Amino acid sequence: MSRVLREVEEALEDDSLRRALERAAENNERNVARVLERHPEVEHLAREVEEAKKSVIERLDYYIDKAMESLRRVGARPYLAETPEEAREIVAGIVGRGKLVVMSKSMVAEELRLREHLEALGNRVWETDLGQLLVQLENGRPMHTIAPAVHISRVEAARLVSERLGLELSSGSPEEIVEAVRRFLREKLVHADVGITGANAVAADTGAVFLVENEGNIRIVSGLSRKHVVVTGVDKIMPTILDAFKAVLVQAAYAGLYPPTYVNVTAGPSSTADIELHRVYGAQGPREVHVVLVDNGRRRAARHPVLSEQLRCIRCGRCQLECPVWQQSANHWGGRVYGGPMGLGWTAVTESLEVAAEAAMLCLGCMRCDLVCPMEIPLSRIAAWLKRQYTRRMGLSG
């Protein structure tokens, strides 16, 4: 039996996973419907974001250059990393050894296995998104793009927090867990040497990095340390600062969380010119902002007739929550990092065509994902193409 099929069938035995996914799917469906009903303008924004994304994918190299130029102009330090190895080395070079590092959830960091790499170099690294911290504590992997711990029950969360962090809990209620973790992480956040975040969008015209969130951890991670490192895929580049803003709003809306509690915009390091109008970098915010743009198959995909469509994805995760197969198996159905309908394409782009093609064989072709994708990505067509790659590789083409 194939690896993917085995993992999916094992997940089918997990009743608490199934119940958790069912609840999450129902809640998301209701939340998104409510957001779109109350804010119909979001659907117009989505069309504008889709067009902007298309224009970037068509001229990706041009926009990468433009974004790097703009980043330099605002005093940030841009890098283009072609492979995960290159990206890891760049970040390791910035962080150094024996440091305290705080991270906010980033799927690209997962692609790079960044946390593990930095830990191996003798750094202490903490995830600050609650869900991602739980995933770190269980030594697992995120099961959804926006809700990485969608598979972890409150009981399991309480057990992880008390056993792995030594935090004392009495009731084990979600409120108590959140409060305990807040106190625990506060100390790490204040003393961290480096804060690492992803990015939801990077504006090519200005070098502004956009991050959208509700927990409030990202603004602390990106604002309190001396060094802020942004690790993101080149697909996150948007032509203008306005396009970038629209992209994060659309992402939040289709994740069912709208308006998002926080939108963070970072255009270079903090500075002040309050004394004799002399510019000094490193005021209350970071002194250094490093932006690592990760390729990892994306530039190649941008030239591909089928996979280029995947690059429009804003990772809202709605297709996952609407998919009958994902609702039974979460990200067990997919590659190492990305699962579900969007995970098939992303796995093909960033990890392995072979893994993606095999996983695609379990796609029902029911097209629910196509209908709910705010970027109108033909996800089931990508899956169908991957199935054809699978049969070819198996020598079954005819």
Q: Return residues touching other proteins (CB under 8 A).
A: 1-2, 5, 8-9, 12, 18, 22, 324-325, 327-329, 358, 360-362, 364-368, 370-371, 384, 386-391, 394, 396-398
CA 388, CA 281: separation in Å to the nearest integer? 54
SS3 231: strand
- CB of 76: closest distance to other proteins in angstroms? 43
- CB of 68: closest distance to other proteins in angstroms? 39
Q: Which residue number, 88 or 332, has a Cβ lying nearer to other proteins? A: 332
CB 198 within 8 A of CB 108: yes
Q: Which residue number, 25 or 46, has a Cβ lying nearer to other proteins? A: 25
CA 341, CA 383: separation in Å to the nearest integer? 8
Q: Which residue number, 70 or 328, has a Cβ lying nearer to other proteins? A: 328
- CB of 373: closest distance to other proteins in angstroms? 13
CA 305, CA 290: separation in Å to the nearest integer? 33
Strand 262-266 and strand 209-213: the pairing is antiparallel
Q: Which residue number, 242 or 353, has a Cβ lying nearer to other proteins? A: 353
- CB of 347: closest distance to other proteins in angstroms? 16
Task: Name the residue among 293, 278, 280 with its Cα closest to residue 82.
Answer: 293
Q: Which residue number, 192 or 323, has a Cβ lying nearer to other proteins? A: 323
Q: Give, in degrees to the nearest 5, the angle at Cα 78 between 73 and 79.
A: 155
Task: Name the residue among 111, 152, 146, 153 with its Cα closest to residue 129.
Answer: 146
Token pair 């119909």 in the structure block, residue:
40
- CB of 149: closest distance to other proteins in angstroms? 22
Q: Which residue number, 273 or 364, has a Cβ lying nearer to other proteins? A: 364
Strands (E), 104-193: 124-127
Q: Which residue number, 16 or 173, has a Cβ lying nearer to other proteins? A: 16
- CB of 390: closest distance to other proteins in angstroms? 6
- CB of 372: closest distance to other proteins in angstroms? 8
CA 250, CA 274: separation in Å to the nearest integer? 37
CB 320 within 8 A of CB 344: no
